[in-house]
Homo-oligomer: A and B are copies of this chain.
Amino acid sequence: MLYPTPIAKLIESYTKLPGIGIKTATRLAFYTIGMEEDVVNEFAKNLLAAKRDLAYCQICGNLAEEETCAICQDQTRDLSTILVVEDSRDVSAMENIQEYHGLYHVLHGLISPMNGVGPDDINLKSLLTRLMDNEVTEVIIATNATADGEATSMYISRVLKPAGIKVTRLARGLAVGSDIEYTDEVTLLRAIENRTEL
């Protein structure tokens, strides 16, 4: 016997999510049946609403409920700086530290020569357009410290530097709380190169 159709279908839907295999999907589906009815209704409603009501900001590519996102609409932000990130979660991580007050640009991916992802496959062209007609003086590249992140970072800096725009990237060094003994060699190398005066 297989499961009754309604639960079999729900299991199938759960397996479409990343990192959720058939065993976990089955556990989640059975758990769902045991949940309060209004919680499940709310879940279904939120699924539809998230897909329907969210779009990407036409200026920066960040998640937005309207044509442009809350940050691009905010008149108090510093218009002279754009921080370039891979996705909206990075915007959120950056906003959480409440230190950066400029604008963002969300690439929706990274240049990845190994996976055949080139500059035209990510949201990069619109960054160049943004730089042409406004007062941006610095672009801060905040891509992940991985091979793809580095490749993207190098590409952007090479394109922007000839245009006379200051391009910086996040510092490389020891993560706070980390042990020197267990730090990988490349990180240690960067930490020595970029040492700061006390």
A residues with CB within 8 A of B: 1-7, 9-10, 12-13, 16-19, 24, 26-33, 35, 37, 39-54, 63-65, 69-71, 87-89, 91-92, 95
Q: Which of A12, A16, A39, A53 is most buried by chain B, counting CB atoms within 10 A of its CB?
A: A16
Determine the distance from Cα of A3 to Cα of B53 in the docked complex, in whole angstroms. 13
- Shortest distance from the beta carbon of A12 to any chain B beta carbon, whole Å: 8
Q: Which residues of B contact A9 (CB under 8 A)?
A: 42, 46, 49-50
- Shortest distance from the beta carbon of A77 to any chain B beta carbon, whole Å: 11
Looking at the complex, which one of B31, B54, B87 makes contact with A4 (CB distance below 8 Å)?
Answer: B54
Q: Decide: A29 and B50 in contact? CB cutoff 8 A.
A: yes
Q: Which residues of B contact A26 (CB under 8 A)?
A: 89
Q: Decide: A10 and B46 in contact? CB cutoff 8 A.
A: yes
* Majority DSSP secondary structure for residues of A touching B: helix
Q: Decide: B88 and A30 in contact? CB cutoff 8 A.
A: yes
Q: Which residues of B contact A65 (CB under 8 A)?
A: 4-6
Known contacts being A46-B13, A47-B13, A48-B41, is A89 close to B33, with CB within 8 Å? no
Q: Which residues of B contact A10 (CB under 8 A)?
A: 46-47, 49-50
Pairs A-B, 9 closest by C-beta atoms: A1-B95, A44-B44, A10-B50, A13-B43, A10-B46, A6-B50, A40-B51, A44-B47, A9-B46
Could you jot down 12 A-B contacts, CB within 8 Å? A1-B70, A3-B63, A3-B92, A4-B70, A6-B49, A6-B53, A10-B49, A12-B46, A26-B89, A35-B51, A40-B47, A43-B47
Looking at the complex, which one of B1, B47, B87 makes contact with A47 (CB distance below 8 Å)?
Answer: B47
A6-B49, A33-B51 known, 14 other contacts, Cβ within 8 Å: A3-B92, A4-B64, A4-B69, A6-B46, A6-B50, A10-B50, A12-B46, A13-B43, A18-B31, A32-B50, A40-B47, A41-B48, A41-B51, A44-B48
Q: Which residues of B contact A54 (CB under 8 A)?
A: 4, 6-7, 33
